[in-house]
Chain A
Amino acid sequence: MTLKNESKLASVEVIQQNFEELHYICSLQIATAVFLAYHLEKPILIEGPPGVGKTELAKTTATMLDVNCIRLQCYEGLDEAKAIYEWKYGKQLLYTQVLKETLNEILAGARGLQESVTKLHDFGDIFFSEEFLEPRPLLKALKEEAGCVLLIDEIDKSDHEFESLLLEMLSDFQLSIPEIGTVKARPDKKPLVFLTSNNTREISDALKRRCLHLYIPFPDADLERQIVHARVPEVAEKLRHQLVAFVQELRDMDLKKVPAISETIDWARTLILLNTEALDPDLVRQTLNVILKFQEDVETVEAELQGITNKAIRES
């Protein structure tokens, strides 16, 4: 593969730096995955809890390389018509109507059904040519001239059948359309594919085998502080330490849904809006709904709020 900004993928460190410039702070592991995905020409399957930046990674990569990011959002019932291609039925209908006259002319003089059909055959399958093909994300990604980033989001939400549909695309970067033939990506412009999964179900081994498997866990306190700093630079250092310590503390608790990085960032923004300089229990109580999304979680945390806040303040 050669993309126009290939130099940005020269080594793991370079990738990390470039990501940092785009405010995406990543671990070595993540940068290694992007590096290998590019050089081995393999898709990356990213797993991890919601809100750790799986989708963001794909988007940032696209921005970094300055190519299009084509996104396919998976859901139950997604099929090839939505993912690969569809015939433009309407256009086909319209054209047959418009061309009725012409058709009559062509068929004029033909004797019998046999002859008419032969004459029609001479035209080939104009109605099933690329003209009438509506490319969907997967096909679009293959046809992209300058290469692209293909993001197949939340693959675990799709059906098992859809996974099998992806196999051809992921291993050979090609798709077969019965009426037209096989569409291949340009060998030097293969799309960089990211698949994300929230692990609601196990992805089949066949799919996993074709991918690099990257697991993004919750970041440690240090990395999270960097991320908050990159995303919300307005937060003062002291507050940053405190809020990260607080969130880290919450992650150790037995909650229905522990806050992810995206929630930490939202919270940081909220605190900025409220002109906060340091955490205090009352403030936390008021803004708790930014980081916790279930009432029962809020209740659990409220009971121990004082302790956790003090601990977070002490630690930082």
Chain B
Amino acid sequence: MDSTLVDFVKALRTAEVEVSPAETLDAMHCIDIVGYKDRQFLKNSLALVLSKNVEEKETFTELFDRFFTVDKFQSALSEDEDSNDPASMSDDDGEFQGQRQQSGGGQGSGGGGAEASEAAEVSDEPELQPESKLGKMIVNDDRTELSIAIAEAGRATGVNEILVFTQKGLYARKIMDHMGLKELQQEIGDLQKTGGNPRIRLAARLKKGRDALRERVRDYVEKQFFLHADESGKQLREELLKKVKLSNVERRNFKDVQEVVFKMAKKLIAIHSKRRKTFRRGQLDVRRTLRQNMQYDGMMFDIRWKASKVDRPKVMCICDVSGSVSNYSRFLLMFLYSLAEILPKVRSFAFSSDLGEVTDLFEHSNLEDAMAKVMRDYGNGSTDYGQMLVDFKRHCLDDVNNKTTIIILGDARNNYGDPKADILREIYDRAKRVIWLNPESRSNWTVGDAEMAKYAPCCHQTDVCNSLAHLERVVSNLLRSTT
């Protein structure tokens, strides 16, 4: 049964519940105590051991039901078939009897003998057993045995490595092959060829059994697909989304992108929320040491070292929301706001020519609404970086100090207007860091009306930023440089 648990853990992992080997071991101990008898009890117990937060618990519940109902479902299916089968068998019999009557009617007086011989044949029938293993199973009609055989074949063919849905047919065939389909086919062929009523009847029965079996294997593969591949397909898609240019992300994928962003943000939070203090080893903090040791009569028992608290960066984010860049701004803002836990002070501004603060908007409404409103209020008009800088200077330059990081996201295409790089210089002198993120590739930074050549010297850092992977790197660096 251990391998079942391991399979289950594997399915959990594909569903993004992170289960460590140690937890798997715990689960095994747990099963030793709990046993498999009480389903609810087992579920509750495993939920305690394997899932470690609320979302994981939900996934767990769902997956547990799906994973451990396989057997139940099959038995239900076989019950169905059981109830069907006698009916179909009696149908057959009915037909058969009909034939017999017909033949009886046709043969008239000689009927008696014929009937007797046929009766003999009927009584012979059970003794005519198929020779292949699979055939025997079908004829014996032992559902559990069949289910087990399917599961075994599934394991042998590695169905839990299924990745995409187009593989379903392939795996179904593989499993059938493994169960001995070939021999069965051979046998059916032989039986049909050699002829004779009982043989043909047996062949028909085997055929029917084979088709039912095929159906069941397909079901099995389907279920395995949902357990093992559905999520990994998603992971594949997410990996892809991280690399694709954000302006090329289609609207229908926005939801996925959001999910990816939240995941990335969560990761960053986990990494960066750890240390709030750095200890400067070896520097005695005289004041704190004295204070601490007052209780020991001034004896220096307990020595304190200097430590400095790490301030979270104060981020001001200025986003160009003109058409070409708006998608990048959207995701950058989304990123910054998902980091609220470790970046408590984010102020954001949007502009295409006039600058406006949109912090409240993003804090209080969801991303779609906020973005729509921002686009409505600031999105039109031609880009004017000069005006933006003038506005910024007027409104917020006073709030910029040596702890502020300023991120500007834009393509620096200024429609040949005055770039006013001197204002950016001023900001540069005041702020801790000025980071310019440009969605265009570096080679285009000075082509046409792009003013990057003038702005770049007034930034601490300039980066190409056009995919989620880039965004993640930028934000991660932002956090690292301050911790």
Which of A60-68, A110-118, A206-214, A223-231 lies at the interface with chain B? A206-214
Query: B44–A93 contact, CB under 8 A?
Result: no
Q: Separation in Å of the B250 CB from the closest CB of chain A?
A: 33
Instruction: Describe A's contact surface by its main secondary structure.
Output: helix
CA distance A214 to B45 in the complex (A): 10
Complexed CA–CA distance, A28 and B44 (Å): 8
Of the listed stretches B18-26, B85-93, B209-217, B363-371, chain A binds B18-26
Q: State whether B44 touches A32 (Cβ < 8 A).
A: yes
Say yes or no: A215 contacts B29, CB within 8 Å.
no
A93–B298 CA distance with the chains assembled, in angstroms: 12
Q: Are B26 and A42 in contact (CB under 8 A)?
A: yes
Contact residues in A for B48 (Cβ distance below 8 Å): 29, 32-33, 36, 44, 212-214
* A160 pairs with B44, CB closer than 8 A: no
- The answer to whether A36 touches B40, judged by C-beta atoms less than 8 angstroms apart, is no
Q: Which residues 1-37 in B have Cβ within 8 Å of A in the complex?
A: 18, 20, 22-23, 26, 29-30, 33-34
Query: Which residue from B26, B40, B57 sits with its C-beta under 8 Å from A215?
Result: B57
Verify if A75 is at the interface (C-beta below 8 Å from B). no
Within the complex, the shortest CB–CB distance from B252 to chain A, in Å, comes to: 30
Q: What DSSP secondary structure best describes chain B's contact surface?
A: helix
Are B44 and A40 in contact (CB-based, < 8 A)? no
Interface centre among A45, A159, A213 (most CB of B within 10 A): A213
Is A285's CB within 8 Å of the partner chain B? Answer: no
A293–B18 alpha-carbon span in the complex (Å): 37
Q: A28-B40, A42-B26 are in contact. Are A36 and B270 (CB under 8 A)?
A: no
Evaluate contact between B273 and A201: CB separation under 8 angstroms: yes
CB-CB under 8 A from B52, the residues of chain A are: 45, 205, 208-209, 213
User: Which chain A residues border B341 with CB–CB below 8 Å?
Assistant: 201
Query: Once the chains bind, are B53 and A213 in contact (CB under 8 Å)?
Result: yes
Given contacts A32-B41, A32-B44, are A93 and B51 in contact (CB under 8 A)? no
Q: Tell me if B297 is interfacial: C-beta within 8 Å of chain A.
A: yes
- Which residues of A lie under 8 Å from residue B301 when comparing CB positions? 89
> Residues of A contacting B269 with CB < 8 Å?
202
Q: A12-B41, A28-B40 are contacts. A202–B270 as well, Cβ < 8 Å?
A: yes
Q: How far is the CA of A272 from the CA of B406 in the complex (A)?
A: 59
Tell yes or no: A39 within 8 A of B by CB.
Answer: yes
Q: How far is the CA of A130 from the CA of B297 in the complex (A)?
A: 23
Contacts of B297 in A (CB 8 A): 93
Judge if A90 is at the interface, Cβ distance under 8 Å. Answer: yes
Q: Which of B252-270 contact A (CB under 8 A)?
A: 269-270
Q: Is the CB of A40 within 8 A of B41?
A: no
Min Cβ gap B274→A in Å is 5
B49 close to chain A: CB less than 8 A = yes
Closest B residue, CB atoms, query A29: B44
Bound-state CA distance A89–B57 (Å) is 48
Asked whether A212 lies within 8 Å of B49 as measured between CB atoms, the reply is: yes
Q: Are B299 and A213 in contact, CB atoms less than 8 angstroms apart?
A: no
CA distance A295 to B301 in the complex (A): 49
Question: CA–CA, A208 to B17, complex, Å?
Answer: 13
Given that A28-B40, A160-B275, A202-B269 are known contacts, is A40 also in contact with B296, CB under 8 Å in the complex?
Answer: no
Note all chain B residues with C-beta closer than 8 A to A47. Answer: 53-54
For A61-91 the 0/1 string (1 means CB < 8 A from B) is 0000000000000000000000000000110
Q: Which residue of A lies closest to B266 (CB)?
A: A202
B20 to A209, Cβ gap below 8 A?
A: yes
Min CB–CB distance A214 → chain B (angstroms): 6
Contacts of B270 in A (CB 8 A): 202
Q: Please name the residue on chain B nearest to A41 by beta carbon.
A: B29
Q: With A36-B48, A89-B296, A214-B48 as given contacts, are A209 and B41 in contact (CB-CB < 8 Å)? A: no
Q: Check B33–A36 contact: CB distance below 8 A.
A: yes
Residues of B with C-beta under 8 A to A12: 41
CA distance A37 to B295 in the complex (A): 41
B residues within 8 A CB of A29?
A: 44, 47-48
Shortest Cβ distance from B341 into A: residue: A201
Question: Which residues of the other chain, B, contact A93 by a CB distance below 8 angstroms?
Answer: 296-297, 299
Report A160 CB to chain B, min CB distance, Å.
5
- Closest Cβ of chain A to B275, distance in Å, is 7
Q: Is the CB of A209 within 8 A of B22?
A: yes
Q: Mark A189-218, 1 if CB is under 8 A from B, else 0.
A: 000000000000110010011001111000
Rounded to whole angstroms, the CA-CA distance of A258 and B288 in the bound complex is 42
Q: Which residue of A lies closest to B49 (CB)?
A: A212
Nearest CB of B to A26, in Å: 12
Which residue of A has the minimal Cβ distance to B22? A209
Q: Do B29 and A40 touch (CB < 8 A)?
A: yes
Instruction: Give the residue among A32, A90, A205, A209 with the most B Cβ atoms within 10 A.
Output: A32
Question: Top 8 closest A-B pairs, CB basis?
Answer: A32-B44, A212-B48, A208-B52, A213-B52, A89-B296, A39-B33, A160-B274, A29-B44
Cross-chain pairs A/B with CB under 8 angstroms, 8 sampled: A28-B40, A29-B44, A45-B52, A47-B54, A201-B341, A202-B269, A215-B53, A215-B57
